[in-house]
Every structure is written in structure tokens, then in C-alpha cells.
Chain A
Amino acid sequence: MSANAKPYGLIAEFENTSSVLHAAESVKDAGFRKWDVFTPFPIHGMDKAMGIKNSKVGWFSFLGGAIGYASGMLMIWWMNAVDYQIMIGGKPMFSPHGAFPPSYELTILFGAFGAIGGMMFLNRLPKLHHPLLKHKRFALATHDKFFVVIETADPKYSESETRKLLEAAGSKRIEMVEE
């Protein structure tokens, strides 16, 4: 522990899904804002316990899909009916039916880009550094332990009160993480 290290927050370890879920409920009820729960897999009901609203990823995907479909249709119309016309078997130069299959595929392709891009943007990933990743015990967050972290930057944060709250929630191991 270096002398000039800035504290990042309190990390509390939990043994099972039930206790971390109840801990999350009590942290939310205490009115904290800059806090999070870290789990090896998504826990059913945790979003509600933390008060997280429905994810906005769907909008990104919808936008991507709409762009994909429109660009497919426009591309095919412009290439085959405007820029370089070739008569094939007496078929119309452009028909929405013939242009549908590639446009449909582009809808899915761009919709998928939107979903993944939206998820990365909302989660601010990729991230090169996170203070928690330096913490020794935290490696277990991808293994079999559950953590609640309350940041010192939270307006409600106070070293002793917050520690008491996490102890009352049932954590046996509470430590300070540095920036």
C-alpha cells in the first residue's frame, strides 16, 4: 500500500447469490449512486434489486437494422437500375422483390453491428484499465465469488458508515481498493 494512493472504494465479498442480491437491495435503499455489483454470471433479479432500467441496446440495433435495409435497397437500385443498366431475362431493372434477400441480410448484419457496438458503447468497453482489476481477491469475480463495490466518489460515501452498511448486509470481508 503506497502512501499517496487514492482510495477508489470499498469492496465487500459475498459467498452466494442470495446474500449479494439482498446486499444490493440494501445499498440501493440507502441511496447510493456510484456503486456496482460484480458477479461471475448474470443473476436473475439483480437489475431490479439495483434499480437498473431496461438496457438501451435495442435502439442501437434498430438503428443499425434500418440503415442496413435502406442501404441495401438503395445500393441495388442505384447499381442495377441507374448507374449501369443490364437487361437480364426481361426482368425489371429494379424490383423490391429481387432486391429483398440481400437487403434482408444487410438488415441483420447492421443490426448485429448495432447491438454489439451499442453494448460496447454503453459499457464503455474496451477498457484498458480498471482499479478493481489490480485487487487480488477481485480475480474471483469471474470465478465463484460475488462483490459489491461502493466508490468513494459517491456523495453518500463515508468510510465508517458505508463499512457498517456492508457488514450489516452480511459481508465477512470488506477491503479498501486504491485508484
Chain B
Amino acid sequence: MSDAATEIKVPVVPAELERVPLVQNNRSFGWISDRVSAITEGKAPKWWWWSFIPSVCLLGLLGAMLFYQITTGVGVWGNHHPTMWGWDIINFVWWIGIGHAGTLISAILFLMRQRWRTAVNRAAEAMTIFAVMCAGIYPGVHVGRVWFDWWLFPIPTYQGLWPQFRSPLMWDVFAVSTYFTVSVLFWYVGLIPDLATMRDRAKTKIKQFVYGFFALGWTGSNRHWSNYEKAYLILAGLSTPLVLSVHSIVSLDFAVSQLPGWHTTIFPPYFVAGAVFSGFGMVLTLLIPLRSMCHLEDIITMRHIDVMCKVTLATGCIVSYAYVMEFIIAWYSGSAMEKFHFMNRALGPMWWGWVMMMGCNMIVPQLFWFKKVRSNLVIVFIMSIFINIGMWFERFVIVVVGLYREFLPSNWGYFKPTWVDICTYLGTFGLFFTCFLLFMRFLPMIAISEVKGVTPEADPHHPSAGGHGNGGKH
């Protein structure tokens, strides 16, 4: 080999291909810890109290509604024959769908080496956990006699009877409880190094003890990092099939039945895409105000908003495809009941539900094709609200419109929610926002150690880290 061959030349990247850095303004490691921890240190800002107090009031409303429902009976809701599933199941599916973006960002984007995820994964995972908590309330109280909820789990009872595992509702119990447990664990494992940062910054004894307790004695040892990174990778690998299976199993609650509009094989992928779509909608709704309130513009940059809009657009297109394909399947099936159901969906007395769904989920996201729209935060925020509304109506169309006009016309009915339905739903927002506001006040909202790891100085071969090479580009 000649001497010339030993020197490896790294070609210089042309300016137009140079990507926007993930952390802007060349912020240092210390700046990242200080900026993120500042949200939890010092006095709570006014806007935090202005959001927290109404949230706690709504949480109280949830408690009152659940108390009223449990002590009186399921009849206080609008669920009546033939729509035996109403807002309870709509809201269950809606909340659990929102949860999916958190796991998608934390697990699937991690496996795909999408390094931009580090800025948003912590908040999105917290959103997942709180959304699954809101979702979990509904099936728990919808059974009517909450004191028998434990029958859902394989616990020996005095009758010697076991759960019936041939029912998809049992599969759902396992899917949702596993999803909640693994999401919490994944979130907590990601938090350990940051809890150590909080412990080392803490000024008061109580803070030092509490953060220190949960940091488990983390030192940042590289021998620990080695096992930690492997465990994190495995958790991401396990969460990926988990997140895909959870909403698939939720969709089987419907698809395994014999009902027109429900009995279809397109449901699992369609539900998963819809879940990711609605979840990204909610991530945008939460993070756009938070990034300016908490002064995180250098960490959650316009590039982050841009890529999230693109994911929303992609999943919105998948969902739109499913909406159209359902009609084609109904027509092609030759089943009179299927055909009637879909005509009724678009032209029946509840046509407005279908119009809301199509308008918000199919037409609104198409605006994300335009760079101008994606870089206008006000428009993106308003669109994200429309997506949340549209996805609620999608579940309304599936649950209520699927039930109110089934096979026998003598069996037809109509659905109207009661004030208890509406107040319970508003109450779940109280639970969600109370938890989220407490989270951002007491825990690092951004994964500090991960964001440090994606800065140019973190790469030992980058000139700014004292290295000699050209350095890694992201």
C-alpha cells in the first residue's frame, strides 16, 4: 500500500446539504442542564398557576362525575339500547390513541436513529402515561359495578371461575396494562441520569433526598452507561411491537364482532396509523405553547416542529386511505348490510359526524404539504386542535354510528350524550393537565443527557470537542 492510501479524506458537505443543528446557537452542555432544570427551579411562573388551578378544578369535576356514576349506575350516561357503547368507549379509544405518539417517538424513532427525537421524547412519553391513565378510567367504570373490576384479572375467586381468554376484551386488558407498565418503566429508565443531574443541582435537603432516592445512586460511570444503553435499546425494541399491538388489539374489540362497519380486517393498521396521527396532533398542541413559555426554542427548534408536521401528514394520508378504502370494501363485499352501513355513515341522520371526521383528518392535514404552513406556529397549533377534534369524531363514527342502525330497522335508535358524559370527558382533561403540569414542574421536561449527546461537542472527533477529524454530521 502506498502512503497516499493511508490518509482518509472526508469530503466537505456542500452548504445546501448541511442540516440545521439539533440544538441551536451552539449551546454548551452546561447551558442545556441549566436551561431545562430552570423550569423546575425557582418560583412557578404565573401562567403555570393559571393553568394548574383550572386543571385541578376539572379533576375535581371528574371525581364528582365518577362518584355520581358509580353510586347511581351506567344509566346516567347516554348509553341506551341500541348504542350500548357511547362516549365512554369513544373517549377510551381517543385517549389511548393519543398515548401512541409518545411510544412512537421514544421507541420507533430511537430504533430508526432519528436523533431529533431527544428534544421531545420525555414530554411525549409523559403525555403517553397520562393519556393512558385517562383512557384506563373508562373501561373500569363502564362495566357498571366497579367493585368487580378485579374479575378482569386472572385472580382466583370464590366461584373458581377464570377470565375468558377467547374474548378480545380480555386481550385488551393485557395489552393496555402491559402498555401502561412498559411505558412507565421506559420513561423512568430514561429519567435516571437526569434525576442524578437534578440530585447534584438540588439545594434543599428534601430535594436531594427525593431526587437522590429515585436516581438510584447513578454516577454516570461508563461501565454503567454500557449496560444502560443496551437496556434502553432493548426496551425500545420491545416497545415497538408493543405500541403496534396495543391499538391493533383495541381495534380487535370491534373487528372480532359481526357488526357491519366493525367486522373488517383493515382495522388494526388503520387504528395504529390513526393513533399515531392523533398522538402527534396532541404533541404539537402541547409543545408549541410550552417551547415559548419555557424558553426552549433552542432545543425544540423549528426543525423539530417541521418533522413532526411531516409525520402528521404521512399518518394523516394513511388514515385518509383507510377511510376511502372502507367504502370500497363495503361496495366490493356485495353485502347489503355493509353497503347500507356506509351509505348511512355519509348520508344518514349522523352525517355531520362523518363530515367532521373527513374534514379534520383528511383535508386539514393536507396543508402540511406547504413549508409556509409548517413554519407558521399559529397555524400549526390551530391545525393540531382540528386533528384532535377530527380523531374524536372518527371514534364517534366508529362506535355510535356503527351501533345506532344495525341489522333490524325495528332495532334502530339514536344517541344523545347526557351532561354526565360531557362533564366526565371534560374531567379527564383535568386529570391529564394536572399530571402534565406537575410533571413539568418537578421533573426535567427534556431528556438532558440525551440532548447533550446529540450536540456537535459530544462527538469526540468533532473539532469543537478537541478532536481532529471532520466530525459526525447528523
Task: Give the B-binding residues of A (Cβ under 8 A).
Answer: 15-21, 24, 36-47, 50, 52, 54-58, 61, 65, 75-76, 79-80, 83-84, 86, 88-89, 91, 95, 98-99, 101-102, 104-106, 108-109, 111-113, 115-116, 118-120, 122-123, 125-130, 132-133, 138-144
Contacts and interface: CB of A to CB of B under 8 A. Distances in A.
B358 to A, nearest CB: 31
Nearest to A120: B216
Given A41-B458, A61-B234, A133 B450 contact: no
A130 B217 contact: yes
Contact of B170 (A102, A106, A125, A139): A102
Contacts of B453: 41-42
A66 to B, nearest CB: 13
B237 to A, nearest CB: 9
A58 B234 contact: yes
Contacts of A79: 154, 162-163, 165
Given A101-B171, A109-B178, A37 B222 contact: yes
Q: Is the interface of A mostly helix, strand, loop or mixed?
A: helix
B221 interface: yes
Given A42-B222, A119-B227, A142-B200, A19 B466 contact: yes
- For chain B, which range describes its interface: under 10, 10 to 19, 20 to 34, or 35 or more residues? 35 or more
B234 A57 contact: yes
B248 to A, nearest CB: 9
Nearest to B196: A142
Contact of A39 (B166, B181, B220): B220
Contacts of B9: none
Nearest to B231: A119
Nearest to B186: A112
Contacts of A40: 29, 33, 193, 197, 220, 449, 452
A38 B222 contact: yes
Given A17-B457, A91-B166, A106-B174, A57 B230 contact: yes
B329 interface: no
A104 B248 CA distance: 13
Contacts of B459: 17, 44
Interface in B213-270: 216-231, 234-235, 238-239, 241-242, 245, 249, 252
A17 B462 CA distance: 9
Contacts of A54: 230
A57 B33 CA distance: 29
B103 to A, nearest CB: 12
B28 interface: yes
Given A108-B242, A109-B178, A112-B235, A133 B219 contact: yes
Given A17-B457, A42-B229, A50 B219 contact: no
A101 B174 contact: yes
Contacts of A45: 460
The majority secondary structure among interface residues of chain B is: helix
Sorted nearest first, the 7 A-B pairs with minimum C-beta distance are A127-B217, A119-B231, A79-B162, A18-B466, A144-B29, A55-B230, A126-B216
Given A18-B467, A40-B449, A101-B245, A143 B223 contact: no
Contact of B217 (A20, A75, A133, A138): A133
B465 interface: yes
Contact of B224 (A24, A123, A143): A123
30 contacts: A17-B466, A36-B222, A37-B222, A38-B220, A40-B220, A40-B452, A41-B452, A41-B458, A42-B453, A43-B222, A43-B458, A44-B458, A46-B222, A47-B226, A52-B223, A61-B234, A79-B154, A80-B162, A101-B171, A101-B175, A101-B249, A108-B242, A119-B228, A125-B216, A125-B217, A125-B218, A142-B193, A142-B218, A143-B197, A143-B200
B189 interface: yes
Contact of B230 (A44, A58, A112): A58
Contacts of A104: 241, 245
Contacts of A130: 217, 219
Contacts of B241: 104, 108
Contacts of A118: 227, 231
B220 A142 contact: yes
A120 to B, nearest CB: 8
Interface in B440-457: 449-450, 452-453, 457
B189 to A, nearest CB: 6
B163, B226, B252: residue with the most chain A Cβ atoms closer than 10 Å: B226
Nearest to B249: A101
B451 to A, nearest CB: 9
A76 B165 contact: yes
A15 to B, nearest CB: 7
B161 interface: yes
Nearest to A111: B238
A21 to B, nearest CB: 4
B182 interface: yes
A144 B35 CA distance: 13
B313 to A, nearest CB: 30
Interface in B316-336: none
Contacts of B178: 105-106, 108-109
Given A18-B467, A88-B166, 4 more contacts: A18-B465, A21-B460, A55-B231, A141-B220
